[in-house]
């Protein structure tokens, strides 16, 4: 079999395609696995800061013609709708028509009402809801500050978006509890008309320093979960789209080595409510670390994006991330389909960006790829070239089995009677 | 609350077209796939060879799938980015 060919894209081709904006660090709920330290802070991005963000992004030579703007918190809908009316109008004014902007909101849905739904419809903004599944799974982790479950209110948002005819996707954080319930999760999505889902995992990141998925035996359980989910989706592929399977298949079919946008400098630019700028993994913004303190590499008021590369902390982080990707490239069998993993997970799991394998990559990359490959193989039959050798293996296995079953004397008898058509059937029966 | 909502009409949309569904359909049309079930081969061959086998089969069964793969799908995306 020919080895896969693949080329790594020229760094000059990397473009700024994702702008992650944090209009507020505040969140109206208190999920047990949240990585953000400042989610009780009610600060809000000013329009003047947003205007500077537009100037800096527009001034970047790396800006792509298509820019996704992800409004990400905290809880983005904790900022009043009127602010977004002004913010999106400002951005529409600042960006030329040659730059196609797509706004995306990732929300817990609790504050979503008809006004928001109309706003999303009017602006064409994409909506992602964070829902972990049925109540016994979702409410175990996604709770209000008073400790109440939030599923019921999140499902009101689902119903509202559906009534308005607005498409949306769901992001589910998998924890140890979820892994026991693949069928229940699948049924939950289908029964509630949820058609597109992405699985995140409970990560060790920021202020969330532990994960139920880091316990012994969890990887095997996770693989079993993905295997079962693959089977459920394969049996009814028109009902549910799972991001993980789609991206795994896309990377398998691609003739290029995968890249991870989190490892490409300025492919993602993240800006906090106060105008602090970062790049690489968006989770780095707002988190702190003993070795680097913070990951703000500049401020929109004082730095062009091109200036950030002069920041000593940026240089240290960037070169450590690059070493990590190089190490993955030389050590890991999955690199071609992964692109080097997520820097934030490397840092918060191992203390370094130049690490290689993490729990995050074992589960979300390796396990998903393995199960996708095995799932397709199991359903595609053996290729012609392997069928002859497989037939030989099967024949040998059958013979071994017969040998084990028959005593030496019986084998002798069989040898004496091998011309008998009836006896010739025996090996087949034992298979 | 229960897990099931009363589904409003708009969500009864068209069937989803996904890479899983395209591959499943391609294999369903391929008689060979139904002739011989295959046991998982993990560890039996290296990853690259196993992926090559899948790619080759898809190149034969559904060439447009490989040819028309959108470039952005070749980039591993941030986890909260669809």
| pLDDT tens per residue, range A212-245 | 999 999 999 999 999 999 999 999 998 999 999 9
What angle separates helix A218-235 from helix A243-253, to the nearest 10 degrees? 90
Say yes or no to pLDDT of B9 above 50.
Answer: no
Q: Are residues A393 and A359 in the same domain?
A: no
A108 and A229 fall within a common domain: yes
Task: Give pLDDT, residue A91.
Answer: 98
| pLDDT at residue A420 is higher than 60 | no
Distance of alpha carbon A193 from alpha carbon A159, whole angstroms: 9
Do A393 and A283 fall within a single domain?
Answer: no
Q: What's the gap in Å between the CA of A118 and the closest CA on chain B?
A: 15
Cα separation of A401 and A430, whole Å? 7
| Within a domain: A182 | yes
pLDDT at A143: 98
Count CB pairs under 8 A between chains A and B.
203
SS3 A125: coil
Q: Are A277 and A393 contained in the same domain? A: no
Report whether pLDDT(A152) > 90. yes
Share of chain A above pLDDT 70, in %: 85
**A8 assigned to some structural domain:** no
Tell me what pLDDT residue B33 has.
58
- Give the count of domains, chain A: 2
pLDDT at A6 over 70: no
Give the tens place of pLDDT for each residue, B14-62. 678 899 999 999 998 886 655 555 555 544 469 999 999 999 999 999 9
In terms of C-beta distances under 8 Å and separation of at least 24 residues, what long-range contacts does B64-72 make, across chains too?
B65/A253, B65/B19, B65/B22, B65/B23, B65/B26, B66/A253, B66/A255, B69/A250, B69/A253, B69/A254, B72/A17
Radius of gyration of chain A (CA): 26
SS3 (DSSP) at A280: coil
Which pLDDT band holds residue A147 (cuts at 50, 70, 90)? Answer: very high
3-state SS class at A67? strand
Establish if A7 belongs to a structural domain.
no
- As a whole number of angstroms, the distance between CA B16 and CA B10 comes to 14
Q: What are the two backbone dihedrals, phi and then psi, of residue A171, each rounded to the nearest 5 degrees? A: -110, 125
Reply yes or no on whether the pLDDT at A331 is more than 70: yes
Residue A344: per-residue pLDDT: 97
Instruction: Return the SS3 of A299.
Output: strand
Instruction: State whether A135 and A21 are in the same domain.
Output: yes
CA dist A107 and A370 (Å) reads: 31
Residues A348-376, mean pLDDT to the nearest whole number: 97
Residue A410 pLDDT > 50, yes or no? Answer: no
In angstroms, the Cα distances linking A364 to A24, A219, A372, A382, A423 are 28, 10, 12, 27, 52
pLDDT of residue B13: 57
Q: Where a domain ends, among A346, A374, A402?
A: A374
Task: Report which of B78, B79, B4, B20 is spatially closest to residue B54, judged by C-alpha positions.
Answer: B20
Contacts of A377 in chain B (CB under 8 A): 38, 40-41, 50, 53-54
| Tens digit of each residue's pLDDT (9 = 90 or more) over A79-131 | 999 999 999 999 999 999 999 999 999 999 999 999 999 999 999 999 999 99
C-alpha to C-alpha distance for A321 and A316, rounded to whole angstroms: 9
What is the rounded distance in angstroms from the CA atom of residue A281 to the CA atom of residue A344?
Answer: 6
B 53-82 residues with CB < 8 A to A: 53-58, 65-66, 69, 72-82
What is the per-residue pLDDT for B71? Answer: 74
The better pLDDT of the pair A341, A402 is held by A341
As a whole number, mean pLDDT of residues A389-404 equals 46
Output A274 or B41, whichever has higher pLDDT.
Answer: A274
Residue among B2, B13, B17, B18 with most chain A CBs within 10 A, to mutate: B18
Q: Which of residues 10-49 of B touch A (CB under 8 A)?
A: 10-13, 15-21, 23-24, 27, 30, 32-42, 46-49
Which stretch of A73-77, B39-43, B62-66 has the lowest confidence by average pLDDT?
B39-43
- One domain, residues A251 and A204: yes
Rg, Å, chain B Cα set: 18
Instruction: Please indicate whether, in this complex, the C-beta atoms of B73 and A338 are within 8 angstroms of each other.
Output: no
**pLDDT value of position A412:** 39
Cβ atoms of A182 and A134 within 8 Å: the answer is no
How large is the average pLDDT for residues A151-156? 98
The predicted structure's pLDDT at residue A427: 29
The two tokens of residue A89 are 């109008």
Same domain, A51 and A168: yes
Kindly report the nearest CA distance between residue A338 and chain B, in angstroms. 7
Which of B17, B52, B81 has the CB atom closest to A70's CB atom? B81
In this complex, which of A162, A165, A249 lies closest to B20 when CB atoms are compared?
A: A249
Report, as an integer, the average pLDDT of A55-64: 96
Do A191 and A261 have their domain in common? Answer: yes
What is the reported pLDDT for B35? 53
Task: State chain A's mean pLDDT as an integer.
Answer: 88
Q: Tell me, what's the pLDDT at B14? A: 65
Residue A164 has pLDDT above 60, yes or no: yes
Higher pLDDT, A166 or B9: A166
Span A198-221, mean pLDDT? 97
With an 8 Å Cβ cutoff, is A294 touching chain B? no
Q: For chain B, what are the domain ranges?
A: 18-35+44-70
Asked if residue B7 has pLDDT above 80, the reply is no
CA of A284: how far to CAs of A36, A37, A266, A429, in Å? 10, 11, 13, 61
> Cis before residue A124, ω within 30 degrees of 0?
no
Q: Which residue has the tokens 């591993």?
A: B76
The verdict on residue A4 lying in a domain is: no
Q: How many CB atoms lie within 10 A of CB A328?
A: 23
Task: Please compute the mean of the pLDDT values over residues A386-392 and round it to a whole number.
Answer: 49
Return the ∠ at Cα B22 (arms to B64 and A103), rounded to 5°: 90
Q: What is the extent of the structural domain holding A304?
A: 13-374
The tokens 């993993």 sit on which residue? A341
pTM equals 0.85
Q: B34: how many CB neighbours lie within 10 A of its CB?
A: 11
């Amino acid at each position: 079999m020919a080895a896969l060919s693949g080329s790594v894209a020229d760094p000059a081709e990397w473009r700024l395609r994702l702008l992650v904006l944090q209009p507020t660090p505040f969140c109206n709920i208190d999920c047990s696995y949240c990585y953000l330290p400042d989610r009780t802070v009610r600060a809000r991005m000013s329009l003047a800061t947003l205007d500077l963000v537009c100037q800096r992004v527009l001034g970047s030579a790396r800006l792509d013609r298509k820019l996704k703007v992800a409004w990400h918190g905290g809880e983005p809908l904790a900022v009043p709708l009127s602010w977004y009316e002004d913010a999106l109008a400002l951005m529409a004014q600042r960006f030329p028509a040659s730059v196609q902007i797509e706004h995306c909101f990732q929300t817990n849905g609790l504050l979503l009402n008809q006004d928001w739904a109309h706003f999303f419809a009017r602006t064409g903004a994409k909506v992602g809801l964070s829902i972990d599944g049925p109540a016994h799974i979702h409410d175990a982790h996604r709770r209000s500050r008073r400790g109440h479950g939030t599923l019921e209110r999140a499902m009101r948002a689902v119903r509202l978006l559906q009534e308005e005819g607005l498409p949306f996707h769901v992001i589910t954080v998998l924890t140890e509890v979820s892994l026991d319930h693949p069928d229940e999760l699948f049924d939950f999505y289908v029964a509630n008309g949820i058609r597109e889902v992405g699985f995140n995992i409970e990560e060790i990141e920021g202020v969330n320093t532990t994960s139920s998925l880091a316990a012994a035996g969890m990887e095997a359980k996770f693989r079993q979960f993905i295997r079962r989910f693959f089977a459920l989706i394969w049996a009814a592929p028109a009902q549910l789209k799972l991001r993980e399977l789609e991206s795994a298949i896309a990377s398998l079919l691609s003739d290029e080595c995968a890249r991870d946008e989190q490892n490409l400098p300025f492919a993602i630019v993240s800006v906090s409510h106060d105008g602090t700028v970062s790049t690489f993994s968006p989770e780095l913004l707002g988190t702190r670390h003993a070795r680097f303190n913070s990951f703000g590499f500049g401020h929109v008021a004082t730095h062009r994006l091109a200036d950030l590369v002069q920041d000593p902390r940026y240089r240290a982080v960037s070169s450590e991330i690059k070493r990590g990707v190089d190490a993955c490239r030389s050590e890991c069998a999955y690199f071609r389909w992964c692109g080097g993993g997520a820097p934030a997970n490397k840092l918060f799991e191992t203390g370094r960006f130049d690490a290689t394998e993490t729990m995050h990559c074992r589960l979300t990359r390796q396990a998903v790829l393995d199960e996708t490959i095995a799932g397709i193989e199991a359903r595609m039959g053996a290729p012609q070239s392997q069928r002859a050798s497989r037939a030989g293996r099967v024949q040998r296995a059958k013979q071994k089995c017969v040998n084990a079953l028959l005593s030496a004397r019986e084998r002798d008898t069989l040898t004496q009677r091998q011309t008998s058509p009836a006896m010739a059937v025996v090996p087949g029966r034992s298979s | 609350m229960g897990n099931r909502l009363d589904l409003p009409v708009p969500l009864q949309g068209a069937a989803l077209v996904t890479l899983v569904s395209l591959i499943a359909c391609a294999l369903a049309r391929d008689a060979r796939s139904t002739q011989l079930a295959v046991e998982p081969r993990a560890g039996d061959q290296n990853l690259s060879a196993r992926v090559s086998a899948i790619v080759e089969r898809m190149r034969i069964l559904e060439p447009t799938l490989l040819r028309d793969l959108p470039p952005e799908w070749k980039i591993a995306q941030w986890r909260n980015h669809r």
